[in-house]
C-alpha cells in the first residue's frame, strides 16, 4: 500500500473551497492535460454518499475507464471517494478542508495499491509513483492559480506547506483504514 499526502493553504473561505471541490465537473480543471481526463457520467452530479462517477483517462496512450464512489460526504469539512473500477487494486482518497488563518487548509490523503504483485511494485517504482506525484503537483498549482491568481510556475512554492509520500506495508495500512 502506498500513501500520498498533500496539504495546501488557500486564501479563500472554506465554504467557497468546498463548493468548488463538491462540483465533480471541476475535477477536469485540476487534472493535467496529459491524462486527457473526461467525466463520462452526465453532469451535474449530485454529490452524496453512494454517488458514482465514471471517468476516462489516457495513461501513456492507454485508455482507462475509472469509476469512483463517494463513501463519505460531510460538507464543508470532508469527503471520501474510493475506486470501484479502474487501474488500481485499491484507491481511497480523503479530501479534508479546515478553516485556518483566514483561509482554508486543503488536505488530500490517497491510499492506493496496484495489482499484479511484484510487477505492480516494479511499475510503481518505474512510472506510477512519479505520475501520481505529477498529478498532485499539477493539482496544487491549479488550486493556487484558480483561487489566488498565481501562475502555474510559481504556485508550488509557499502555499504547498506539506508533502509526504510513503510506502506502507499491508498490515499497517489495514490497521489505518
- Asked if residue 176 belongs to a domain, the reply is no
What CATH number is given to the structural domain containing 53? 3.30.530.20
Interhelix angle for 129-148 vs 14-21, to 10°? 130
**Is 175 inside a domain boundary?**
no
Rounded mean pLDDT, 159-172: 37
Residue 118 in any domain: the answer is: yes
Q: For the chain, give me the number of helices (H) and strands (E)?
A: 4, 8
pLDDT at 150: 59
- Indicate whether 35 belongs to any domain: yes
Distance CA 52, CA 93 (A): 14
Residue 177 forms part of a structural domain: no
* Half-sphere exposure of residue 113: CA atoms within 13 angstroms, side-chain side: 13
- Residue 44, in any domain of the structure: yes
Look up the domain containing 70 and give its range.
Answer: 2-169
Note whether residue 45 is domain-resident: yes
Q: Give domain status of residue 145, yes or no.
A: yes
Percent of the chain scoring above 90 in pLDDT? 80
Instruction: Convert the pLDDT of each residue in 38-80 to its tens digit.
Output: 999 999 999 999 999 999 999 888 899 999 999 999 999 999 9
Report the SS3 class of residue 102.
Answer: coil
Percentage of the chain with pLDDT > 70?
Answer: 84
Could you give the number of structural domains in the chain?
Answer: 1
Q: What DSSP state is assigned to residue 155? A: T
Q: Mean per-residue pLDDT for 153-177?
A: 39
pLDDT, tens only, 123-144: 999 999 999 999 999 999 999 9
Q: Which pLDDT value is given to residue 157?
A: 40
Amino acid at each position: 500500500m502506498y500513501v500520498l499526502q498533500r496539504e495546501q493553504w488557500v486564501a479563500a473561505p472554506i465554504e467557497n473551497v468546498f463548493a468548488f471541490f463538491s462540483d465533480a465537473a471541476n475535477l477536469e480543471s485540476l487534472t493535467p492535460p496529459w491524462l486527457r481526463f473526461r467525466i463520462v457520467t452526465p453532469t451535474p452530479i449530485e454529490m452524496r454518499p453512494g454517488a458514482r462517477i465514471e471517468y476516462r483517462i489516457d495513461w501513456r496512450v492507454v485508455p482507462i475507464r475509472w469509476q469512483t464512489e463517494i463513501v463519505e460526504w460531510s460538507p464543508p469539512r470532508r469527503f471520501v471517494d474510493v475506486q470501484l473500477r479502474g487501474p488500481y487494486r485499491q484507491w481511497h482518497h480523503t479530501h479534508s478542508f479546515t478553516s485556518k488563518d483566514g483561509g482554508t487548509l486543503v488536505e488530500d490523503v490517497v491510499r492506493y495499491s496496484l495489482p499484479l504483485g511484484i510487477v505492480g511494485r516494479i511499475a510503481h517504482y518505474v512510472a506510477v509513483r512519479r505520475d501520481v506525484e505529477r498529478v498532485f503537483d499539477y493539482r496544487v498549482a491549479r488550486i493556487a492559480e484558480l483561487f489566488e491568481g498565481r501562475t502555474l510556475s510559481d504556485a508550488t512554492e509557499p502555499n504547498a506547506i506539506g508533502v509526504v509520500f510513503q510506502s506502507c506495508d499491508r498490515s499497517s495500512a489495514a490497521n489505518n483504514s
